[in-house]
């Protein structure tokens, strides 16, 4: 199979932009004592949130602010509250009852809820969950082997209309199944804006294997699941439970995705296409073994965070923190240990999930206990000691601090241009390129480019699973390419030219 190139292609230059939305300007957190963290430039202030009774936002929690930076919705993973931490209408008991009762009405697992905002005051909250039958078979079992297989077999969404109840909000669709009868982690769920700057990709990791379920959330519809599977890492089972700790993250610009799970000294890293939702160019990072700390602490990869500029990935272990430089091909030079042996710190509970704040700093939560502080990486875009790790430097007014809320990058803007969501109905198709015949039954696609470019580009063909099956450089000055697909199986593929993608069918 090969490409026969005869004339130029237009290159679709693009860029991403950030428009300050204030959706993440304030964070709700804390157990028993509840706190609000407000970001003003590089400064942060922590204060109490008055609530009675006290709520527990300790790992599975999330929140979102309005455009003015005021908290409007928050969740503990099992319920939805307003800014005063009272239930919004129909916002209680979002998950099956046995799980809800067993964990006292709040989720202790990181990334167990995430808010996705849309126009017209519509919000989605997504929560993984466990059916009562799964709970009875695995969690209540006296067999440790069965207990070790307890995971989540549901993924639910809840649609919120904030215009309802005179602006107080109401859950208008509750506990709608996105996935059922599957095996997903209790942790590791993250979202990234689609390249149109409006819709959302949601990624949820399976447990044990490295299978990733992807959904495309639009304001009125949800597409998926689209599934990609990778052979490594094989995340396996954590001691007694199936991946109860770990984290998934995107770079701020949405171009890379990473995930880790406790008990596995590896991190999965790949490129991400905000247009297609395709993960590509996967690599597995082997996290260095620490000489300080117990084997248990060394194996606990509890959190991940990219630096603001995407140059570094921080791996948060139980009592150690490592920085990895993405552009450094020599692994011996790419890794730098930011902190080690943190168990010597006063009242240290072990590190937990970490998130980058709107000020560009990384905040690291507490696991296996509550404290009166979080640790901070002040300059995460700087290599080595210059990143300025500051242990326990974000101080709260009382013990009860846990971890930051689960938040995607709400400020990520649109790519320009990018393939439309419904490629078959695109008004711009004829302006940029023409593909014929499509579907093809003769084993050849003709691609005609109607806009010229001044540089060479790549023309690529992907399966629906994200596997690249064809790639060829297209020289500047080309107007037409003939694509030979006679070596490919019948089916649907994505034809990509830079960041313009068309769906094509081989018959």
Tell me whether strands 335-339 and 351-356 are parallel, antiparallel or unpaired: unpaired
Does 347 share its domain with 428? no
Whether 365 is covered by a domain: the verdict is: yes
DSSP-derived letter for residue 3 is E
Question: At 226, which helix (H) or strand (E)?
Answer: strand 222-230
Residue of 437, 461, 458 lying closest to 447 (CA atoms): 437
Structure tokens at 352: 């937990």
More confident site: 417 or 421: 417
Confidence band for 285, pLDDT divided at 50, 70 and 90: very high
Q: What is the structure's pLDDT at 300? A: 83
Structure tokens at 138: 């695995």
Give me the DSSP letters along 264-314.
--EEEEEEE-TTT--EEEEEEEEPPPPSSS-HHHHH-EEEEEE-TTSSEEE
Does 438 share its domain with 389? no
Separation between Cα atoms, residue 497 and residue 392, nearest integer Å: 47
Does 52 share its domain with 162? yes
Residue of 192, 288, 187, 201 lying closest to 235 (CA atoms): 187
Structure tokens at 391: 């242990």
Does 293 share its domain with 208? yes
Average pLDDT, the chain: 87
Does 365 share its domain with 227? yes
- Number of independent structural domains in the chain: 2
- Flag whether pLDDT at 3 surpasses 80: no
Q: What is the structure's pLDDT at 500? A: 67
Tell me if residue 484 falls in helix, strand or coil: strand
Does 432 share its domain with 344? no
Q: What is the structure's pLDDT at 423? A: 41
Q: What is the structure's pLDDT at 427? A: 36
Section 265-291 average pLDDT: 92
For 166-212, the pLDDT digits (tens) are: 999 999 999 999 999 999 999 999 999 998 899 999 999 999 889 99
Strand arrangement, sheet containing 500-506: 468-474, 457-463, 491-497, 500-506
For 374-396, the pLDDT digits (tens) are: 999 999 999 999 999 999 999 99
CA angle 35, 20, 76 (to 5 degrees): 30
Which residues make Cβ contacts (< 8 Å) with residue 258, sequence separation at least 6? Answer: 248, 249, 267, 268, 269, 270, 304, 306, 313
Please state the pTM of the whole predicted model: 0.82
Among residues 345, 360, 395, the one where a domain terminates is 395
Distance of CA 370 to the CA centre of its chain: 25
Does 354 share its domain with 374? yes
Confidence band for 429, pLDDT divided at 50, 70 and 90: very low
More confident site: 238 or 30: 30
- Flag whether pLDDT at 320 surpasses 90: yes
Section 129-154 average pLDDT: 94
List the domain range (segments joined by +) for residue 276.
26-395
Report the CATH number that the domain containing residue 498 is assigned in CATH.
Answer: 2.60.40.3080
Asked which of 212-226, 417-431, 472-486 is least confident by mean pLDDT, the reply is: 417-431
Tell me if residue 155 falls in helix, strand or coil: strand
Does 7 share its domain with 35? no
Separation between Cα atoms, residue 302 and residue 214, nearest integer Å: 22
Residue of 199, 178, 88, 86 lying closest to 127 (CA atoms): 178
Report the CATH number that the domain containing residue 191 is assigned in CATH.
Answer: 2.130.10
Distance of CA 462 to the CA centre of its chain: 22
Asked which of 11-25, 75-89, 125-139, 250-264 is least confident by mean pLDDT, the reply is: 11-25
- Flag whether pLDDT at 501 surpasses 80: no
């Amino acid at each position: 199979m090969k490409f026969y190139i005869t004339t130029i292609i237009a290159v679709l230059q693009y860029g991403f932009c950030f428009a300050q939305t204030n959706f993440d300007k304030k964070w709700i957190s804390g157990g028993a004592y509840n706190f609000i963290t407000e970001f003003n430039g590089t400064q942060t202030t922590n204060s109490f949130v008055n609530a009675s009774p006290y709520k527990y936002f300790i790992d599975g929690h999330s929140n979102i602010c309005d455009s003015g930076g005021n908290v409007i919705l928050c969740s503990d993973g099992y319920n939805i509250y307003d800014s005063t931490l009272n239930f919004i209408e129909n916002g209680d008991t979002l998950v099956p009852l046995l799980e809800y009762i067993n964990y006292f009405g709040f989720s202790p697992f990181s990334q167990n809820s995430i808010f996705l905002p849309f126009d017209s005051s519509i919000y989605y909250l997504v929560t993984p969950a466990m059916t009562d039958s799964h709970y009875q078979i695995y969690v209540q079992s006296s067999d440790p082997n069965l207990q070790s297989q307890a995971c989540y077999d549901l993924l639910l969404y809840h649609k919120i209309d904030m215009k309802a109840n005179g602006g107080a909000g109401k859950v208008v669709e509750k506990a709608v199944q996105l996935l059922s009868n599957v095996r997903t982690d209790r942790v590791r769920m993250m979202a990234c804006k689609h390249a149109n700057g409006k819709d959302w990709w949601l990624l949820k990791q399976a447990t044990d294997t490295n299978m990733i379920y992807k959904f495309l959330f639009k304001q009125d519809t949800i597409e998926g699941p689209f599934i990609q599977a990778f052979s490594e890492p094989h995340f396996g089972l954590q001691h007694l439970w199936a991946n109860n700790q770990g984290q998934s993250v995107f770079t701020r610009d949405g171009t890379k995705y990473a995930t880790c799970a406790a008990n596995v000294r590896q991190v999965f890293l790949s490129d991400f296409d905000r247009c297609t939702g395709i993960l590509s160019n996967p690599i597995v990072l082997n996290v260095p073994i620490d000489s300080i700390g117990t084997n248990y602490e060394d194996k606990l990869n509890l959190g991940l965070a990219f630096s603001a500029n995407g140059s570094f990935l921080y791996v948060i272990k139980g009592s150690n923190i490592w920085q990895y430089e993405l552009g450094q091909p020599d692994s011996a030079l790419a890794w730098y240990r930011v902190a080690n042996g943190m168990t010597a710190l006063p009242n240290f509970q072990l590190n937990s999930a970490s998130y980058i704040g709107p000020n560009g700093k990384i905040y690291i939560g507490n696991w296996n206990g509550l404290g009166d502080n979080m640790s901070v990486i002040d300059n995460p875009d700087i290599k080595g000691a210059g990143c300025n790790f500051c242990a326990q430097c974000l101080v709260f007014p009382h013990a009860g601090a846990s971890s930051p809320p689960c938040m995607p990058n709400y400020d990520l803007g649109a790519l320009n241009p990018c393939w439309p969501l419904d490629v078959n109905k695109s008004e711009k198709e004829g302006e940029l390129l023409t593909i014929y015949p499509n579907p093809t039954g003769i084993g050849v696609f003709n691609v005609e480019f109607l806009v010229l470019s001044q540089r060479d580009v790549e023309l690529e063909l992907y399966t629906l699973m994200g596997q690249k099956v064809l790639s060829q450089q297209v020289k500047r000055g080309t107007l037409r390419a003939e694509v030979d697909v006679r070596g490919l199986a019948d089916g649907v593929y994505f034809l990509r030219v830079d960041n313009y993608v068309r769906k094509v069918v081989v018959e």
